[in-house]
């Protein structure tokens, strides 16, 4: 090919090669429609005031429920086995939990989202996160009392076997420590 035709040939061939490469490359992104969530089926609802989103299934092995004489404590794990988008779950919580009587007190988190809600004597902490590798979205809901039916403030440390550092609680000193030092 003569030297003068080479630049012109390269200019014509470059866009064709680029468009062909884009057309036949599948890419590695995962795109799916993520419509707003509604409340799920009754079989996955533990309590009427603690709604679970549609498509999420209660993981019974990781969840437990305790109710007795006006006292209740739930630690629930819901999982949806497909990528959904944490934003849709946040929208669901912000819409349905206040409709069920909960007041959103605080939202925090960068990679994961945490909600702190209150309703009467109960406090609810929700943790939402995604796992892109295994393609699931998980929502962990913890409902526990802020006070006992007698009006005494409940220490969260006494409610669980492992001490938890959560928002809204004051740290207490062991009885053997001196105050002021």
Q: What digits encode the pLDDT tens for the residues 59-79?
A: 999 999 998 877 889 999 999
Q: What digits encode the pLDDT tens for the residues 12-71?
A: 666 665 565 555 555 555 556 677 788 888 777 888 899 999 989 999 999 999 988 778
Instruction: Give the pLDDT confidence score for residue 146 in this predicted structure.
Output: 83
Instruction: Give the pLDDT confidence score for residue 79 in this predicted structure.
Output: 93
Q: What digits encode the pLDDT tens for the residues 83-110?
A: 677 888 999 999 999 999 999 999 999 8
pLDDT > 60? residue 177: no
pTM exceeds 0.85 for this model:
no
Is the CATH code 2.60.120 the one for domain 55-159? no
Instruction: Give the pLDDT confidence score for residue 36 in this predicted structure.
Output: 79
Q: What digits encode the pLDDT tens for the residues 127-174?
A: 999 887 778 899 999 999 887 666 666 644 444 444 444 454 444 444
Structural element, H or E, at residue 117: strand 113-119
Q: Please indicate whether residue 114 or residue 154 has the higher confidence score (pLDDT).
A: 114
3-state class of 101 per DSSP? Answer: coil
HEC string of 14-43?
HHHHHHHHHHHCCCCCCCCCCCCCCECCHH
Dist CA 47 CA 74 (whole Å): 10
């Amino acid at each position: 090919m003569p030297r003068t035709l080479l630049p012109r040939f390269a200019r014509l061939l470059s866009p064709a090669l680029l468009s062909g490469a884009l057309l036949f490359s599948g890419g590695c992104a995962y795109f799916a429609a993520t419509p707003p969530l509604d409340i799920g089926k009754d079989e996955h609802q533990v309590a009427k005031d603690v709604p679970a989103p549609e498509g999420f299934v209660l993981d019974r092995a990781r969840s437990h429920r305790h109710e007795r004489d006006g006292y209740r404590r739930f630690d629930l794990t819901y999982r949806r086995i497909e990528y959904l988008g944490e934003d849709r779950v946040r929208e669901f919580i912000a819409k349905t939990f206040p409709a069920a009587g909960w007041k959103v007190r605080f939202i925090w988190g960068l990679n994961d989202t945490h909600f702190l809600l209150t309703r009467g004597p109960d406090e609810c902490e929700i943790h939402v996160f995604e796992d892109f590798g295994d393609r699931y979205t998980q929502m962990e809901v913890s409902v526990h009392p802020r006070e006992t039916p007698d009006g005494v403030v409940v220490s969260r440390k006494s409610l669980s076997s492992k001490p938890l550092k959560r928002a809204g609680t004051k740290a207490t000193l062991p009885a053997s420590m001196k105050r002021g030092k």
